[in-house]
Copies of this chain bind each other. A is one copy, B any other.
């Protein structure tokens, strides 16, 4: 019953296909030519992932013949795919997410805007900021721990700054998006 969650790459594919139907090659190119490349774009990863998604009924490919060029399969999201994506996007952010899956978090945020209602986006950002705060609190004590070299301390400082920066970003994003939202008291 409980299907194990798909990989980040898989959700990235799902998210891009949701925004507009795309071929495997176009998806690869998107990864290779934009900041999305963090989520990888080698043919050996993309094509098998797409076939797996199609087998699972989350996307469907239509062969498009164009001139004499090799025909391409253009994929579009099925309703089951849309639901799977929504299920991945919906849960509040945990401390584990904040500590170990920053990229996945940013991918989720980037993909959720047309799929989740504003209230859930707001919850995402709120729990993200709170989880980062919690995580920072849990690792900040290491700054004064014994046995840390000066380099280790500096590295940890960089990590903490990154985390605090992201928490601040989440709060700022919340305010900005909040201003666009109706049905909620302005601050």
Measured CB to CB, the residues of A under 8 A from B are 19, 34-35, 37-38, 99-100, 106-107, 109-114, 139, 142, 149-152, 154-159, 161-162, 165-166, 169, 173, 176-177
Q: With A110-B152, A112-B151 as given contacts, are A139 and B169 in contact (CB-CB < 8 Å)?
A: no
Check B151 against A109 for contact (C-beta < 8 Å).
yes
Q: How far is the CA of A173 from the CA of B157 in the complex (A)?
A: 10
* A173 proximity list for chain B (CB < 8 A): 154, 158
Q: Report the Cα distance A114→B151, complex, angstroms.
A: 9
CA of A106 to CA of B106, assembled, Å: 20
Question: A37 — which chain B residues lie within 8 A by C-beta?
Answer: 99-100
In the complex, the answer to whether B106 meets A155 with C-beta atoms within 8 Å is: yes
Q: Are B34 and A142 in contact (CB under 8 A)?
A: yes
**Interface class of chain A by DSSP:** helix
Q: List residues of chain B with CB within 8 A of the CB of A165.
A: 161-162, 165
User: Known pairs A106-B159, A113-B151, A154-B173. 6 more at Cβ < 8 A?
Assistant: A35-B159, A38-B99, A110-B149, A110-B152, A111-B151, A113-B149
Q: Closest CB of chain B to A36's CB: distance in Å? A: 9
- Listed by A's residue number, 9 A-B pairs whose Cβ atoms lie within 8 Å are A35-B139, A38-B99, A109-B154, A110-B149, A113-B149, A114-B149, A150-B177, A154-B173, A162-B166
